Amino acid sequence: MILGPGDGRSLTLGTQALRILSEGTGVHDVAIVDTVLPPGSGSGRHVHHGHEEAFFVIEGTVRLEVDGREVDAGPGGFALAQRGQVHAFSNESDTDARMLAVYAPASAVGYLDELAEIVRSDGTVDAGELAAFYERFDSAAG
């Protein structure tokens, strides 16, 4: 597979712009997502029991947190949230940040598709909808 700069499936999570580069194959069981985080955006503390997430900062600064350890990571910064580890990420700067997010197994991209349906354009989400969403995906707020 080869993708050009504008290729891939686009998805919006509130103010975040996602470009899904890979949804996995029979052999390659990871999803890879190019994520643009405008200032003030991100994902609060949460935990997954059915998939893992890795984050690699490409541009700007992303605050990455895994199991209580927090770092403001610039380009080249990396974090891995294994199953059961509470994690979060956010852009606390005044400019856009960009990171690659990797989800394993690749079926976790369905998590993003459903999340996009309940996140409002300003990035907020109804607490009841979020709780039901987390339950469907063997996840929880952290």
Q: What is the CATH number of the domain that holds 104?
A: 2.60.120.10
Percent of the chain with pLDDT over 90: 70
pLDDT at residue 45 tops 90: yes
Is residue 41 domain-resident? yes
Is residue 61 domain-resident? yes
pLDDT band at residue 121 under the 50/70/90 scheme: confident
What's the total number of domains in the chain? 1
pLDDT at 81: 97
pTM here is: 0.91
Q: Tell me if 44 sits within 8 A of 141, measured CB to CB.
A: yes
The answer, yes or no, to whether the previous bond of 39 is cis (omega within 30 of 0) is: no
Q: Which helix (H) or strand (E) holds 81?
A: strand 78-81
Q: Which helix (H) or strand (E) holds 128?
A: helix 127-136
pLDDT band at residue 25 under the 50/70/90 scheme: confident
Is residue 122 domain-resident? yes
Percent of the chain with pLDDT over 70: 100
Is residue 88 domain-resident? yes
Is residue 6 domain-resident? no
Contacts of 142 (CB under 8 A, 6+ apart): 44, 45, 46, 47, 86, 87, 88
Is residue 39 domain-resident? yes
Please state the rounded mean pLDDT for residues 69-93: 97
Domain range for 86: 11-141
Tokens at 105, concatenated: 């197994």
pLDDT at 92: 96
Is residue 107 domain-resident? yes
Is residue 1 domain-resident? no
